[in-house]
Structure 1
Amino acid sequence: MHTASNPNIAVAIAAPDQAKAAAVPRIKLSSHGFCIDHPDPELGEQLMADAMGVADRDAMHGVLKQLVKASVSGEKSDEINLSFMISMVKNIKPRDSVEAMLVAQMVCVHVMAMRCAYHLANAEDIAQQDSAGRTLGRLARTFPAQIEALNRYRSNGEPAITVQNVSVGDGGKAIVGNVTQHVSVIVSNNNGAPAVTDAPMVSMPDRGAQEHEPADAKRGAQS
Structure 2
Amino acid sequence: MQVKLSSHGYYIDHPDPEAGEQLMADALGVADRDAMNGILRQLVKASMNRQKPNAVTLSFMISMIRSIKPRDAVEAMLVAQMVSVHVMAMRSAYHLAKAEDIASQDSAGRALGRLARTFPAQMEALNRYRTSSEPAITVQNVSVQDGGNAIVGNVTQHTSVVVSDNSGAPAVTDAHMPEIPDRGAEAPDSVAAKRQAQA
Shorter-chain TM-score: which interval? 0.5 to 0.7
Q: Does structure 1 residue 31 correspond to structure 2 residue 7?
A: yes
Q: CA deviation at 1:28?
A: 1.3
Deviations 1:163-212 (A, max 9, x none): 9xx8689xxxxxxxxxxxxxxxxxxxxxxxxxxxxxxxxxxxxxxxxxxx
Aligned length: 142
Q: Does structure 1 residue 137 correspond to structure 2 residue 113?
A: yes
Q: CA deviation at 1:157?
A: 7.3
Equivalent of 1:151, from 113, 127, 143? 127
**In structure 2, C-alpha distance between the alignment counterparts of 1:168 and 1:50, rounded to whole Å:** 46
Q: Does structure 1 residue 99 correspond to structure 2 residue 75?
A: yes
**In structure 2, C-alpha distance between the alignment counterparts of 1:124 and 1:50, rounded to whole Å:** 45
For residue 47 of structure 1, what is the amino acid of its counterpart? L
User: What percentage of residue pairs aligned between the two structures are identical?
Assistant: 77
Deviations 1:132-158 (A, max 9, x none): 000100000000000000000011179
Superposition CA RMSD, Å: 2.2
Pairs within 5 Å for 1:172-187: none
Match of 1:185 in 2: none
Match of 1:79 in 2: 55
Equivalent of 1:118, from 75, 78, 94? 94
Q: CA deviation at 1:74?
A: 2.3
TM-score normalised by length of structure 1? 0.60
Q: Does structure 1 residue 108 correspond to structure 2 residue 84?
A: yes
Match of 1:45 in 2: 21
For residue 48 of structure 1, what is the amino acid of its counterpart? M
Q: Does structure 1 residue 66 correspond to structure 2 residue 36?
A: no
Equivalent of 2:66, from 90, 100, 115? 90
Post-superposition, which runs of at least 4 consecutive aligned residues in structure 1 deviate over 4 A? 166-169
TM-score normalised by length of structure 2? 0.67
Change (3 A) 1:138 1:157: farther
Change (3 A) 1:77 1:86: same
Any gaps of 5 or more consecutive residues in structure 2?
146-199
Name the SS of the counterpart of 1:124 in structure 2: coil
Name the SS of the counterpart of 1:155 in structure 2: helix
Name the SS of the counterpart of 1:154 in structure 2: helix
**In structure 2, C-alpha distance between the alignment counterparts of 1:58 and 1:157, rounded to whole Å:** 25
**In structure 1, C-alpha distance between the alignment counterparts of 2:53 and 2:34, rounded to whole Å:** 21
Any gaps of 5 or more consecutive residues in structure 1?
1-24, 170-223
| Structure having the larger proportion of residues in helix | 2
